[in-house]
A and B are shown apart, each in its own frame.
Chain A
Amino acid sequence: MDSTRDTCFSSIYKSDHPWLERRLQNGLRNREDAEDVAGETFTQLLCLPALEQLNEPRAMLITIARRITWRLWRRRELEQAWLEMLRLQPEPLEPSAEERVQTLQSLQALDTALDGLSSKARMAFLYSQLDGMTHVEIAARLKVSPTMVRKYIVQALRRCCEVLGV
């Protein structure tokens, strides 16, 4: 890291880190989360290519912080939904630590892949790949044409490949 960049980062950190953390604390109502999100935000800021040319560091910080908070919420929401599923099983399930990690990784990958797709596209994909429904059945359920169902599934498969880097 060259020295201009270094100075630039230090000055943003000094002037805006307390501000960001306060703001996050107000919004998140949780000090630890606020610290984590603020820390991760500055880490990501450091990776920006043209840090010196940043005109509105606070706007950028908010944008990054919002993205990180969103991910954090989704991760927790999925985890909670999954744990709730376990609770609802007729036979209590005690997943091993390994299964826990694996399941959460899979869920997050799946969630990231589905993120940005329409709700119908997500449903079409799961109906097809998980439930083994035919396109005609899915089309009837979602009230769209089978051609549309096909498009939805292609979109989702493409996203899966991208997310998993294949």
Chain B
Amino acid sequence: MTPLDMRSREAAIEWQVCLSSGQASDADRRAFDQWLAENPSHGAAWQRLNAALDGTLHRLRPGLLADGNPLRRSLVGPQLAQRRRLGKLVLAGGTVLLGAGAADRYVPLRHLTAGYVTRTGERRRVALPDGNMMELDARSAATLDGQYGVQVSSGAAIFEVAAGQGLQVHLPHGAVRLAQGRAMVRCASERSFCLALSGTAQVSTLAGIHRQLAPGQSVWFDAQQIDAVQDNQGYAAAWSNGELEVHDEPLQTVIAALARYRPGWLRASPQASRLRVTGLFPLDDSDRALAALTHTLPIRLQRLSSWYVMIDLA
């Protein structure tokens, strides 16, 4: 780039800033026209600057970077903190988990290859090729795995299995074998969940521990072991009716469930997260659910925008 080109580029930037400042006068606009006409290198620099803006900002779909949305936040967010994390990561030989915090906000990319993915707030019933039915909770992902198998990699699903070959449901920490009837599964980050609704379900961990569940029974399990069986847990499937029913659970559980139905950010402070909640909440109207929570718990909502709601102790 010649010194003239450099000067023209600087001038083009100054003009761009001046004209988009909101305070450009008619005199400014006339001066700009004059500047453009003065020298061919000025026009060229102006075009190049605008090409640069086209290549970055203007080629993006309108609204994609709307103020306050996750993408915009990712662009303006504090990258330095992440850099520091990165410094620790490679040099310390790895005790820091990769991108866990940042990636957690989004549905992990690998789920995009899943056969069935539901968006925030979306429930979907799917007829499986073998004639069985699957209903996916919001923000869930499942893939067909052979003729009589389904892999659920995120969120929750209810399966209705007719008499026949049965169905094998693979989960991150094990598998569930359903001969006939209804059962629900859910994937959490470190554990998986299974609830038998009608008919029995056979749970196996990756390590090969088995447990048979009768209707109404549920368990949490990880790759190694299975927690104690709990009875009368049928309400854990209430999401399929658009409801969330909790019995003496931490507020965090409710928030996590509502967040699956609500675009934007919904967070609770650590203190508020630990409050115990019992109740029935509408999933499809999360504003009403939040209002119900504020009526029964010592909490207050901080609405920074419709996209960002923080819950704290009142």
Whether B20 is near chain A, meaning CB under 8 Å from some CB there, is yes
Interface string of A10-40 (1 = CB under 8 A from B): 0000000000000111111110010000000
- A85 close to B56 (CB less than 8 A): no
Known: A70-B83, A113-B56, A119-B78. A23 touches B119 (CB 8 A): no
Known: A29-B97, A126-B65. A161 touches B86 (CB 8 A): no
Which of A66, A77, A79 has the largest number of chain B CB atoms within 10 A? A77
Chain B residue at minimal CB-CB distance from A116: B79
A127 to B190, CA, bound (A): 40
- B99 close to A166 (CB less than 8 A): no
Q: How large is the interface on A (under 10, 10 to 19, 20 to 34, 35 or more residues)?
A: 35 or more
Chain A residue at minimal CB-CB distance from B62: A130
Sample of 5 further A-B pairs with CB below 8 A, known A81-B73, A130-B57: A78-B75, A80-B108, A83-B106, A103-B60, A160-B49
Interface size, chain B (Cβ < 8 Å): 61
Interface string of B197-229 (1 = CB under 8 A from A): 000000000000000000000000000000000
A65 to B23, CA, bound (A): 46
B contacts, CB < 8 Å to A: 9-10, 13-14, 16-17, 20-23, 48-49, 51-53, 55-57, 59-61, 64-65, 67, 69-79, 82-83, 86-87, 89-94, 96-99, 102-103, 105-109, 112, 119-120, 263-264
A20 to B71, CA, bound (A): 32
Known: A65-B90, A76-B99, A106-B59. A84 touches B70 (CB 8 A): yes
Q: Which residues of chain A come closer than 8 Å to B67, judged between CB atoms?
A: 126-127, 131
Chain A residue at minimal CB-CB distance from B100: A29
Q: Which residues of chain B come closer than 8 Å to A76, judged between CB atoms?
A: 99, 103, 109
- B75 close to A114 (CB less than 8 A): yes
Known: A62-B91, A134-B23. A111 touches B75 (CB 8 A): yes
Known: A27-B93, A73-B99, A128-B20. A115 touches B79 (CB 8 A): yes
Chain A residue at minimal CB-CB distance from B65: A130
Give chain A interface residues in 68-97, CB to chain B under 8 Å.
69-70, 73-74, 76-85, 87-88, 92
Contact of B17 among A70, A99, A133, A157 (CB under 8 A): A157
Chain A residue at minimal CB-CB distance from B70: A81
Q: Which residues of chain A come closer than 8 Å to B94, judged between CB atoms?
A: 23, 25-29
